[in-house]
Amino acid sequence: MWIGSYSDVLPYVREAWNAVLEEFTATIADAERDELVTLVRYLSELAPRHRGHPLNSVGNVPRYGLQRFVSRFDVLARQAEVELIRKLRDKQP
């Protein structure tokens, strides 16, 4: 049973979190890697005050709102579809 605070254990959790993100990063194609890893970092940040999209901390947008993420993931999915279609088209005789 843990009786310490979250901040006491945070360095160890962060070390494990970074290891998982490195493994995740290695599985992503170069074209989408940077943005996708950045979005995952925003969504899974261990310190709650830093979690969420940085632009959501300005203005009237909910701090933990997901609309920016939904939009970016939609764009990334469409880009991946276009790339897949292009690759399939290039392989045809």
User: What is the spatial distance between Cα 58 and Cα 25, in angstroms, rounded to a whole number?
Assistant: 29
Note if the pTM is more than 0.85: no
Residue found under tokens 């830093």: 50
User: What is the spatial distance between Cα 63 and Cα 78, in angstroms, rounded to a whole number?
Assistant: 26
Whether residue 1 lies inside any domain: the answer is no
Whether residue 81 lies inside any domain: the answer is yes
Whether residue 85 lies inside any domain: the answer is yes
User: What is the spatial distance between Cα 83 and Cα 23, in angstroms, rounded to a whole number?
Assistant: 24
Total domain count, the chain:
1
pLDDT digit string (tens) for the chain, length 93 residues:
778 888 898 899 999 999 999 999 999 877 788 899 999 999 999 988 889 998 888 878 888 899 999 999 999 999 889 988 998 998 876
Q: pLDDT at position 28, please?
A: 86
| Residue-range definition of the domain harbouring residue 87 | 6-91
